[in-house]
Amino acid sequence: MMSVFIGRFHPVFVHLPIGILLFAALLFFASKKQKFAAVSTAVAPALALGSFFSILSCITGYLLSISDAYNEGIVFKHQWLGIATAITSIVCYIAYQKKFKYAGILITLLMTLIIITGHNGGSLTHGEDYLTAPLSNSKSDKKVIANINEAVVYKDVIEPILAAKCYSCHGDSKQKGKLRLDLPNYIMQGGEEGKVLTPFQPGSSELINRLLLATSNEEHMPPKEKPQLSKDEVALLHWWIESGASFTEVVKNTKQTDAIKGVLAAFSTGDATAAEQTQLPAQKVSAISSDLLTELNKQGVAVVPIVNESNYVRANLIGVETLSANTFQLLSKISDQLLQLNASFTTIKDEHLSALSNCKQLKQLELNGTSITNKGLASLAALENLEILSITQTKATAEGISSLTAIKNLKKVFLYNTSFTSAAIAQLKQKIPGLLIDTGGYKLPILVTDTTEAKALEIKTN
């Protein structure tokens, strides 16, 4: 249709009146200064030209709004703000020509309308939070998944990917191709070209096929000028669809390949990781052999680099159904590279911890929700480089923690949801000066996005 073709020129024309009218306003206010008085002759032509392109933008904008699917509420507001801007620009032109006394006020109003209208246009194209997203997308806002096994696959893993990479074109504000991906029923409904996914069949799902096309292909999604999905994000979407594209299934009930276990391990940040980032040692180490990595993967141990292109790693035991002595023997073989170990919510026992004594490089250990006791903690004294220890929801007591006084580098201990009393905390203050003790005390504000940000109360001992 010709109207569709003309409407697509709106993004081209809409920037012209913005620039020209703002330039006209600049000329107007500059001409009030005696040394710039000569530019006054250019104000009227600039207002006239800006008015013309404002009208053209209104026409093409209307045609675009009926040729594609946008949020009706934002379209309505943007449309009438655009019309108001065009009318005000014409009024400003007439007022200036007639030397109206309050022309300056009208031009100030015009500038305000341009800014507000432009912001609404940006919201239509990029989403309502486009302007403020960089301010709220800080590390502290990132959702922490302490136990990835208990996470809901869609809500905790898949939805954040879609929100970051797909909602700008297929969300509440805009539905390119009449496709919405922000709610389960819309995802299953598909768009004007039909369904975008088939449960259990990622190869037959258009959602995956579009992602795998070359970025130069016009049908590749997201468009090449938009932020692209990472290899891991594509793998997670593929795994989700292959597992049935459930919106309620939890991670532990899904079938996972070794590769997916490794990707999921990165989500299992744990309580300690959310608050601290491990400092990599200056000393370089060799890479772990592929044979050893294969053995670890067979055991269900997910090993991922701390940072890209580093041989220092983080091991996660979330995929290990039954921990055995062999598991920890394998871990001891990567002791030079192992800086972080997450054994939270696993079947790890006290005797297993003694097997970690060879892991001298270990800086961060997470044992949340396990059956370990003071006996197991005592064996950690050999970990001379340990900086962060997380033992929430365990039976550990002050006696067990105090046995770690020999670890000179210990900086922080997480122990909320334990039996620690105020008296026990006071004892630790005396025995381990300078240790940061996290005892909980979170404030959890409920946001419109149904996301919570945990803010821990830290007690610094003197």
Does residue 214 lie in a domain region?
A: yes
pLDDT of the residue at 378: 87
Same domain, 305 and 367: yes
Same domain, 329 and 438: yes
> Do residues 31 and 43 make contact, with C-beta atoms less than 8 angstroms apart?
yes
> Do residues 57 and 86 make contact, with C-beta atoms less than 8 angstroms apart?
yes
Other C-beta atoms within 10 Å of 34: how many? 7
Does residue 261 lie in a domain region?
A: no
Same domain, 338 and 447: yes
Does residue 131 lie in a domain region?
A: no
pLDDT tops 70 at residue 336: yes
Same domain, 77 and 187: no
Same domain, 183 and 74: no
Query: What is the rounded distance in angstroms from the CA atom of residue 352 to the CA atom of residue 348?
Result: 6
pLDDT of the residue at 89: 93
Same domain, 87 and 234: no
Phi and psi, residue 405, nearest 5° = -60, -20
pLDDT of the residue at 200: 92
Does residue 137 lie in a domain region?
A: no
Same domain, 171 and 64: no
Same domain, 279 and 235: no
pLDDT of the residue at 199: 93
Same domain, 183 and 120: no
Same domain, 200 and 336: no
Query: What is the rounded distance in angstroms from the CA atom of residue 302 to the CA atom of residue 89?
Result: 62
**Domain closes at, from 181, 215, 249:** 249
**Domain closes at, from 126, 144, 161:** 126
Same domain, 316 and 220: no
Angle among Cα 361, 403, 437 to the nearest 5 degrees reads 80
Rounded to an integer, the average pLDDT of 395-416 is: 80
Does residue 267 lie in a domain region?
A: no
**Domain closes at, from 84, 111, 126:** 126
Rounded to an integer, the average pLDDT of 234-257 is: 91
Helix axes 325-332, 290-299, angle to 10 degrees: 150
pLDDT of the residue at 249: 94
Does residue 263 lie in a domain region?
A: no
pLDDT of the residue at 419: 75
Task: Measure CA of the first residue to CA of the last residue in the chain; give whole Å.
Answer: 74
Does residue 135 lie in a domain region?
A: no
CATH number at residue 426: 3.80.10.10
pTM of the full structure: 0.48
Query: What is the rounded distance in angstroms from the CA atom of residue 212 to the CA atom of residue 193?
Result: 18
Does residue 111 lie in a domain region?
A: yes
pLDDT tops 50 at residue 453: no
- Banded model confidence at residue 133, pLDDT cuts 50, 70, 90: low
Other C-beta atoms within 10 Å of 256: how many? 18
pLDDT of the residue at 355: 84
Rounded to an integer, the average pLDDT of 303-322 is: 80
Same domain, 347 and 436: yes
Q: Number of structural domains, the chain? A: 3
Structural domain harbouring 378: 272-460
Residue % of the chain over a pLDDT of 90 = 27
Which of 384, 386, 382 lies closest to 364, judged by CA? 386
State pLDDT tens for residues 219-236: 889 888 778 888 888 989
pLDDT tops 70 at residue 45: yes
> Do residues 142 and 155 make contact, with C-beta atoms less than 8 angstroms apart?
no
State pLDDT tens for residues 167-185: 888 888 778 888 999 999 9
pLDDT of the residue at 274: 37
